Amino acid sequence: MRLVPLISAILVTATPAVASDRCQVPPDQRRPANELRAELTAKGWTVGKIELEEGCYEVRGQDQTGLSVEVLFDPASFQDMGRDD
């Protein structure tokens, strides 16, 4: 009966990991996306679209240098959480 532990080990390693959200902010603690748009616009960004992705606000547009970007922001603090890969 050595096959049972072997099969169990294979199944555990073959099971894909469940992706967790980058931003763990409850919906009632999220700031409005329009506030993020206003902050980024004041910094010289051109904001095209803001969507909720991985629990974060995903901003598509151009940064202050004119570079096209897709960046994730924490919806409570508006902290830059990195590029959307």
Quote the pLDDT of residue 14.
44
Residue 11 lies in a domain: no
Per-residue pLDDT of the chain (85 residues; tens, 9 = 90+): 565 454 444 444 443 444 467 899 999 999 999 999 999 999 999 999 999 998 999 999 999 999 999 999 999 999 999 987 6
**Based on the structure, what is the number of domains in the chain?**
1
Quote the pLDDT of residue 2.
62
Task: Identify the domain containing residue 47 by its residue range.
Answer: 21-83
DSSP 9-64: HHHHHHSPPPPPPS----GGGPPPHHHHHHHHHHTT-EEEEEEEETTEEEEEEE-T
Contact 81, 69 (CB under 8 A): no
Walk across the sheet containing 46-53 and list its strands. Answer: 46-53, 56-62, 68-73, 80-83
Residue 8 lies in a domain: no
With 0-12 / 13-18 / 19 or more C-beta atoms within 10 angstroms meaning exposed / middle / buried, residue 8 is exposed
